[in-house]
Amino acid sequence: MSGYVQTVVIVGGGSAGWMTAAYLSKALDKNVQITLVESSNVTTIGVGEATFSTIKLFFDFLGLQEDEWMPKCNATYKMAIKFVNWNAQRQHFYHPFQRYEVVDGFDISEWWLKMKRNQEAFDYACFLIPWLCDNQRSPRYLDGKVFDDKVQNLFSREHIVKKNILDHLKVQYPYAYHFDANLLARFMKDYAMHRGVKQIVDDVVDVKLTADGSIDSIETKEHGSISSDFFVDCTGFRGLLINKALGEPFIAFSESLLCDSAIAMQLPTDIKKNGINPYTTATALSSGWVWNIPLYGRSGTGYVYSSAFISKEEAEKEFQEHLGEAANECKASHIKMRIGRNRNSWVKNCVAIGLSSGFVEPLESTGIFFIQHGIEELVSHFPKKSCNEELIRSYNKAIADCIDGVREFLTLHYCASDRADTEFWKATKHEIQVPEELREKLRLWKNRLPNNKSINPKYHGFESYSYSVMLLGLNYLPESSLPVLEHIQDQNAKATFLEIQEKAAYLRRTLPSQYEYLTHVIKSQ
Ligand code: FAD
């Protein structure tokens, strides 16, 4: 086995550290000893509770069924993000986990522009999910069947994933999850330790490098020096190994994404009385936006804002006013966010995963998605001890492309919105730097909605329907519909619009509520 990696040390025990430990313990199931070192003095970020629908693949790979882990993490289903007050008219719209139907070769959204733009909201006309969200439905029937027939077999207990690579996805999973971040980290820890991962609770106080600049060992307060063939930096915004010890520069995204701070809070919720929304809400305020993430038993909420436009105190006041009585006696925690990415997330024998690698504001819940992507790419690029330079380059490109793609998509959330009522919202039109490539696409999208050929082609998780939904919701609409649709009969489009309404009505009638479904799962254990 000489030449092969035999020991991996992960530093950091937040979601990134324990998700990495759990995944590697399953993926590298022989000849590698994994150790995780975490401090009891440095707290984890403790937020990060809404996910992206590809998270399903992560749990599938670990062989975990929903009824095993969801009740232990107070998890709920998330079928969409509801954007509130993001356009000048202050209407809401949903960004669902659902692709468009295609009619006579064109997305139903193109037909909507032609036939319904002044009559019906696009999201309710083109998708089922907004109806299920408004009615707090569960995506599953009480017998476990998923409402979306196209993916039903992928959600059965028998479904086994042998190889899961995010960018090979052929389907759109119709939901993701909300969960308690601390409970999930604990669940991942139990899973990983059960599979032989060793935990050391101690502070890393120094990092020793070899002559060629690789990491030789980490120095801990009480356990002395710990050496390893390979290291994973999961130390959060500190980037203890990748930035501090290895000196890798961090590229800030402040020119295009203005939000750099957050205030987080946990709210008690009477789910029996109020039900559980199967979606995350993102409500725009004066200098940013507020997330609301419904869990089984409480909600997580937070104001993501730009400190250049509002002080910490004013932001907390505005946030409290937005929450009203619900926030009485709840403790707010202030978080400074490091927005951007490392120039390289893998340097020598160290890979950074999680906040230490890169982070954009959690508007599309991509933090945990970046972790999943980083881990999967690490497994597929897993090196020998000598860490081949080409593998490192390829990994770094995949990570940078993914984070940069999401950065571009989030930039669009701001620059395409017609909201410009405060200094912050004006700055999102006039002060942020919109890359020329995106400007060019925006010019095209004023004439036709995005398709998979016109969006960023590098893998970053989002498909063209997501771009299209955001543009329609933000009031950045093509001025006219596609001329070619004037040469095609409307009857198939009419029938499809009708089918969507009929199916939505049927599902609303027959699916249990999310509260009912999750309570049923808990009671049947
Ligand atoms: P942390 O949680 O900061 O963990 C760092 C770990 O390193 C800790 O265990 C700490 O003890 C350890 N450590 C640090 N220094 C040392 C040392 N010297 N010695 C030993 N150990 C050390 N993601 C989503 O997917 N969805 C969301 O809705 C979402 N919302 C977010 C909202 C906000 C405001 C923020 C800031 C992030 C959000 N994220 C979200 C991102 C998500 O929270 C993170 O990706 C996730 O929690 C992973 O964090 P982490 O493990 O990288 O870092």
Question: 46: CA distance to ligand 1 center in Å?
Answer: 7
Q: Average pLDDT, stretch 408-425?
A: 97
Instruction: For ligand 1, atom 36, name the residue with the nearest CA.
Output: 337
Per-residue confidence at 140, pLDDT binned at 50, 70, 90? very high
Residue 422 has pLDDT above 60, yes or no: yes
Instruction: For ligand 1, atom 39, name the residue with the nearest CA.
Output: 48
**Does 78 show up as a binding residue in the annotation?**
yes
Question: 283: CA distance to ligand 1 center in Å?
Answer: 23
Closest-CA residue to 134 (of 123, 145, 150, 122): 123
Gyration radius (Cα) of the chain, Å: 23
Question: 364: CA distance to ligand 1 center in Å?
Answer: 17
Residue 218 has pLDDT above 80, yes or no: yes
Per-residue confidence at 63, pLDDT binned at 50, 70, 90? very high
* Tokens coding 96: 């669902």
**Which of these is catalytic: 78, 189, 348, 441?**
78
Q: Average pLDDT, stretch 85-101?
A: 96
If one residue of 37, 42, 232, 342 were mutated to test the ligand 1 pocket, choosing by the most ligand atoms within 8 A of its CB, it would be 42
pLDDT value at residue 476: 97
**Does 108 show up as a binding residue in the annotation?**
no
For residue range 261-304, what is the model confidence (pLDDT) as tens digits? 999 999 999 999 999 999 999 999 999 999 999 999 999 999 99
Q: Average pLDDT, stretch 64-90?
A: 97
Return the bridge partners of 95, or none.
81
User: What is the phi/psi pair of residue 377, to 5°?
Assistant: -65, -35
Residue 166 has pLDDT above 70, yes or no: no
pLDDT value at residue 168: 61
367 contacts 343 by C-beta, under 8 angstroms: no
Residue 158 has pLDDT above 80, yes or no: no
- Ligand 1: atom nearest CA of 202 is 20
pLDDT value at residue 29: 85
- Ligand 1: atom nearest CA of 264 is 34
**Does 14 show up as a binding residue in the annotation?**
yes
Residue 475 has pLDDT above 90, yes or no: yes
pLDDT value at residue 203: 98
pLDDT value at residue 313: 97
CA-CA distances (angstroms) from residue 305 to 250, 440, 493? 21, 28, 41
* Tokens coding 124: 């309710």
Return the bridge partners of 379, or none.
none
Instruction: For ligand 1, atom 12, name the residue with the nearest CA.
Output: 12
Instruction: For ligand 1, atom 38, name the residue with the nearest CA.
Output: 48
HEC sequence for 67-125: HHHCHHHCCEEECEEEEECCCCCCCEEEEECCCCCEECCEEHHHHHHHHCCCCCCHHHH
Residue 165 has pLDDT above 60, yes or no: no
What percentage of the chain exceeds 70 in pLDDT?
A: 98
Query: For residues 152 and 141, what is the distance between their CA atoms, to the nearest angstrom?
Result: 11
- Ligand 1: atom nearest CA of 366 is 25
Question: 368: CA distance to ligand 1 center in Å?
Answer: 10
Question: 29: CA distance to ligand 1 center in Å?
Answer: 26
- 3-state secondary structure (DSSP) of residue 250: strand
pLDDT value at residue 465: 97
Does the model's pTM come out above 0.90?
yes
Ligand 1 — pocket residues by CB below 6 A?
11-17, 37-39, 42, 44-45, 47-51, 181, 203-204, 234-236, 238, 240, 262, 264, 302, 335, 337, 354-356, 362, 365, 367-368, 371
Residue 315 has pLDDT above 60, yes or no: yes
- Ligand 1: atom nearest CA of 357 is 52
If one residue of 235, 263, 290, 338 were mutated to test the ligand 1 pocket, choosing by the most ligand atoms within 8 A of its CB, it would be 235
Question: 349: CA distance to ligand 1 center in Å?
Answer: 22
- Ligand 1: atom nearest CA of 370 is 45
**Does 204 show up as a binding residue in the annotation?**
yes
**Does 340 show up as a binding residue in the annotation?**
no
Query: For residues 505 and 31, what is the distance between their CA atoms, to the nearest angstrom?
Result: 54
Q: Average pLDDT, stretch 450-467?
A: 95
Domains of the chain: 1-49+180-251+338-387 (3.50.50.60)
Q: Average pLDDT, stretch 168-190?
A: 91
145 carries an active-site annotation = no
Instruction: For ligand 1, atom 29, name the residue with the nearest CA.
Output: 48
Q: Average pLDDT, stretch 186-202?
A: 98
Return the bridge partners of 252, or none.
340
For residue range 364-384, what is the model confidence (pLDDT) as tens digits? 999 999 999 999 999 999 999
Query: Could you tell me how far CA 68 lies from the centroid of its own chain?
Result: 22
Instruction: For ligand 1, atom 34, name the residue with the nearest CA.
Output: 262
- Ligand 1: atom nearest CA of 337 is 36
Q: Average pLDDT, stretch 144-150?
A: 90
Question: 372: CA distance to ligand 1 center in Å?
Answer: 14
Per-residue confidence at 30, pLDDT binned at 50, 70, 90? confident
Per-residue confidence at 155, pLDDT binned at 50, 70, 90? confident
Burial of 100 per CB tally in 10 Å (0-12, 13-18, 19+): buried
Question: 361: CA distance to ligand 1 center in Å?
Answer: 13
Query: For residues 247 and 344, what is the distance between their CA atoms, to the nearest angstrom?
Result: 11
Amino acid at 177: Y
Per the listing, tokens 């439905």 go with 137
Mean pLDDT over each residue of the chain, to the nearest integer? 95
